Amino acid sequence: MRIVLVGPPGAGKGTQAAFLAKNLDIPHISTGDLFRANISQGTALGLEAKGYMDRGELVPDEVTIGMAKDRMEQADAANGFLLDGFPRNVAQAEALDVVLKADEMQLDAVLDLEVPEDEVVKRIAGRRICRNDSSHVFHVEYNAPKTEGVCDTCGGELYQRADDSEETVRTRLEVYHTQTEPIIDYYRAQNLVVTISALGKVDEVTARAMAALKK
Ligand code: AP5
Ligand code: ZN
């Protein structure tokens, strides 16, 4: 299956993507994780992205689209994929359509995670991620690691993302409403959007998502 995951910051996209990718046996491609890996490796791409991310703004399309394309090629998109955090504006959605069309591929669904803003703020405030791999995601209260400050998956140190400060979260939410939400209408016109509530326990949301994708 070829799926795009969309939803506000802190909706649980990364958390759900890990389970959905495993259940569906497709690669999880997160542009946020790719940028964070580049930042921790000190690459030129990471250096360029960091300022935008720390401010909660989108990294320019020229950089993002190229990186996402490379990763999709590497993952052999023909076998399916789960995109998390990409596309994030209409220009990126159009660029993705061009890439897919060139290989005679189509998206199967756009899974839209709906969460009220006050819940998003609580989820982000308590989030801790792993130094070794930012796709290892925890929450101090809702999804606590077995040992405080230590990643269950790899034993790495947990820390709070630089862009999870209150001020940056406000910018990220605004960017989501103005730039990312329009892609939901873009995909609605293609009859691809499946909206589910992302409230409830992590496994309940996964079950809801799997049921919605099967329809
Ligand atoms: P990115 O990393 O994509 O961040 P985001 O979209 O803001 O999403 P988050 O990672 O904040 O949240 P999430 O929905 O994955 O939630 P999570 O599962 O962690 O992007 C970061 C930045 O990179 C952007 O601001 C931009 O600068 C740049 N960027 C990335 N892609 C780009 C693009 N395409 N174009 C341009 N720029 C781009 O969950 C949140 C917390 O809630 C966790 O602590 C988790 O444990 C907890 N939680 C999850 N599910 C539940 C549940 N059901 N109940 C209780 N708690 C839960
Ligand atoms: Zn880890």
Question: What CA–CA distances, in Å, run from 41 to 9, 36, 37?
Answer: 24, 9, 6
Q: How far apart are CA 54 and CA 204, in angstroms?
A: 32
Convert the pLDDT of each residue in 43-52 to its tens digit: 999 999 999 9
Domains in the chain: ranges and CATH: 2-214 (3.40.50.300)
Report how far ligand 1's centroid is from the alpha carbon of 13 (Å).
Answer: 6
Look up 170 and say whether it is catalytic: no
Work out which ligand 1 atom sits closest to the CA atom of 128.
Answer: 44
Convert the pLDDT of each residue in 173-188 to its tens digit: 999 999 999 999 999 9
Q: Is there an atom of ligand 1 within 6 Å of 8 CB? A: no
Report how far ligand 1's centroid is from the alpha carbon of 201 (Å).
Answer: 17
Percent of the chain with pLDDT over 70: 100
Q: How far apart are CA 17 and CA 108, in angstroms?
A: 16
The pLDDT of residue 78 is: 72
Report how far ligand 2's centroid is from the alpha carbon of 132 (Å).
Answer: 5
Convert the pLDDT of each residue in 91-121 to its tens digit: 999 999 999 999 899 999 999 999 999 999 9
- Reading the block at residue 66, the tokens are 């190229």
Percent of the chain with pLDDT over 90: 95
- Reading the block at residue 172, the tokens are 């990220």
Binding positions for AMP:
31, 36, 57-59, 85-88, 92, 161, 172
Report residue 158: phi and psi, to 5°: -95, 145
Burial status of residue 185 (CB atoms within 10 A of its CB: 0-12, 13-18, 19 or more): exposed
- Reading the block at residue 17, the tokens are 């993507």
- Taking the CA atoms of residue 93, residue 37, residue 3 and residue 141 in that order, the dihedral angle to the nearest 10 degrees is -120
Residue from 2, 123, 127, 128 carrying the catalytic annotation: 127
- Hey, which of 34, 35, 205 would you mutate to test ligand 1's pocket, going by the most ligand atoms within 8 Å of its Cβ? 35
pLDDT over 90 (residue 215): no
Over residues 158-182, the mean pLDDT reads: 96
The pLDDT of residue 86 is: 98
